[in-house]
Every structure is written in structure tokens, then in C-alpha cells.
């Protein structure tokens, strides 16, 4: 039986249809939700949901094969990683981590992560290599990517690629050094940015939607990197 004391913050969203078929969601000011384990190990993990705000005031969405929504998937992966999925493997809460789930604008999540004193900051995204769903492409075109900018982030990214990438259908699993992402450069916490797989091929979409069967791998990667505090 899973035990967790959850402090939930209600979220009101306004859904607008943006240009080009992208979905725009206006987040509220009180976006963070904090989850507290029964036995806290003293570490805080900030899971930052996908929000492509493009410098404005709403979260835009990226869509993929079969109506896949990057933003909705990001939320569901966060919840599965926090609470556990359909396996007997431990979730982040069961591993003793306090988790803050940020679902605001990117700059707000950065500020919130810094304010709560997160030890680890993980943006949750899916990747794209084209504007539409592809077919008849090899699995080597896709895979799990983890991005970093610091030496500590490089180590974290390696743990994520090793464990999450072992499950994803794409075979091009890699960590990447990036200097152009605010969630890597502007967070006080060590940051490693997850691109689960690509949402422009059906096998990747199917796997990401089956998040309850593999989200424990992300929780394990966090635990391995943090040294099982």
C-alpha cells in the first residue's frame, strides 16, 4: 500500500486554441504542488512540466503522432514518477524524496525551484525531429536524450540515459551538453533535462503513454545519482 502525505494546490487553467493548431494553456500563479513522503531523506526534487511559453504568458503545446500532447504527457509522467506506476518498483515518494511539481511558465518554474531550494531540477519533455508524425524510419533516429550544462548535471544525465534509455524504443540514447536552456543555466539546483523519446514516431508515443511501466526508472536514476540518501 502506497503511503504519501500530499499537500495539493488547486490549479485553474484556461484553454485557448492558438495559431497553427498548437494548444495554449494559461497557468495560474499558484502552480507548484508539493508532495511529502512519510520518511523524508532531506532531499528535494523539482519536476518541471513542459511549458513552451516562447517568451509570452501562456504554455504552448507540441503535438505528435495519434494526438499525442507533450504537455499532458509531461504531467502524467511526473505523477507516475512521484506516486508509482503499475510495477512493484519504488516511486520518488517511496524512496523518501520531497517532490515539487512545477506546472507554470518556464521562468516561474525556474524561480520556484530556486525558492524551494531544490537539490535536483528535472524538466520533463519529449522530443521532435520533424513537424509531423513520421513513418518507415529506423529506431536509430530516435531515443532518450538527457541534457546538461554542469559537470554534476552530466553525471545525472548519464544515470537517466542509462536507465530510462534502456526501456525506450529509440536506440539513439545520448546525453547532450547544452548552454541555451534556461532550466539548465538558471537553476541553483543541479539540472538534467529529460527528453523521454521522440513524439513524432508511433513506437515512441506508445512507449511514453505506457509511463506507469517505466517511470520507476527515472525515480531509480535520481536515487542512484543522489547516492541513496
What is the rounded distance in angstroms from the CA atom of residue 109 to the CA atom of residue 54? Answer: 14
Grid coordinates in use for 192? 538534467
Burial class (CB in 10 A: 0-12, 13-18, 19+), 29: exposed
Alpha carbon of 229 to those of 45, 80, 218: distances in Å?
A: 13, 21, 16
Mean pLDDT of 213-228: 97
Mean pLDDT of 47-64: 90
pTM recorded for the entire structure: 0.87
More confident residue, 85 or 23: 85
Q: In which band, very low, low, confident or very high, does the pLDDT at 6 lie, cut at 50, 70 and 90?
A: very low
pLDDT of 131 higher than 60: yes
Q: Which of 187, 192, 198, 200 is nearest to 176 (CA)?
A: 192
* The pLDDT value given to residue 25: 47
Interhelix angle for 70-83 vs 202-209, to 10°?
40
What is the rounded distance in angstroms from the CA atom of residue 169 to the CA atom of residue 65? Answer: 15
Q: Are 2 and 38 in contact (CB under 8 A)?
A: no
Mean pLDDT of 192-200: 98
pLDDT of 43 higher than 80: yes
What is the rounded distance in angstroms from the CA atom of residue 43 to the CA atom of residue 64? Answer: 35
Amino acid at each position: 500500500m502506497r503511503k504519501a502525505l500530499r499537500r495539493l494546490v488547486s490549479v485553474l487553467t484556461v484553454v485557448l486554441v492558438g495559431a497553427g493548431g498548437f494548444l495554449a494553456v494559461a497557468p495560474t500563479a499558484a502552480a507548484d504542488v508539493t508532495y511529502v513522503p512519510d520518511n523524508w531523506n532531506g532531499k528535494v526534487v523539482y519536476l518541471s512540466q513542459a511549458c513552451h511559453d516562447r517568451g509570452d504568458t501562456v504554455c504552448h503545446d507540441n503535438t505528435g503522432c495519434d494526438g499525442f500532447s507533450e504537455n499532458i504527457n509531461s504531467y502524467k509522467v511526473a505523477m507516475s514518477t512521484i506516486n508509482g506506476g503499475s510495477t512493484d518498483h519504488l516511486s520518488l515518494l517511496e524512496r523518501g524524496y520531497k517532490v515539487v511539481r512545477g506546472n507554470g511558465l518556464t521562468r516561474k518554474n525556474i524561480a520556484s525551484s530556486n525558492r524551494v531550494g531544490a537539490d535536483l531540477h528535472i524538466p520533463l519533455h519529449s522530443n521532435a525531429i520533424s513537424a509531423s508524425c513520421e513513418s518507415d524510419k529506423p529506431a536509430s533516429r530516435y531515443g532518450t536524450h538527457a541534457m546538461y550544462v554542469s559537470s554534476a548535471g552530466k553525471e545525472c544525465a548519464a544515470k537517466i540515459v542509462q536507465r530510462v534509455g534502456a526501456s525506450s524504443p529509440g536506440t539513439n540514447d545520448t546525453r547532450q551538453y547544452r548552454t541555451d536552456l534556461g532550466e539548465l543555466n538558471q537553476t541553483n539546483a543541479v539540472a538534467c533535462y529529460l527528453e523521454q523519446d521522440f513524439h513524432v514516431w508511433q513506437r515512441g508515443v506508445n512507449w511514453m503513454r505506457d509511463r506507469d511501466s517505466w517511470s520507476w526508472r527515472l525515480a531509480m536514476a535520481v536515487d542512484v545519482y543522489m547516492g541513496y540518501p
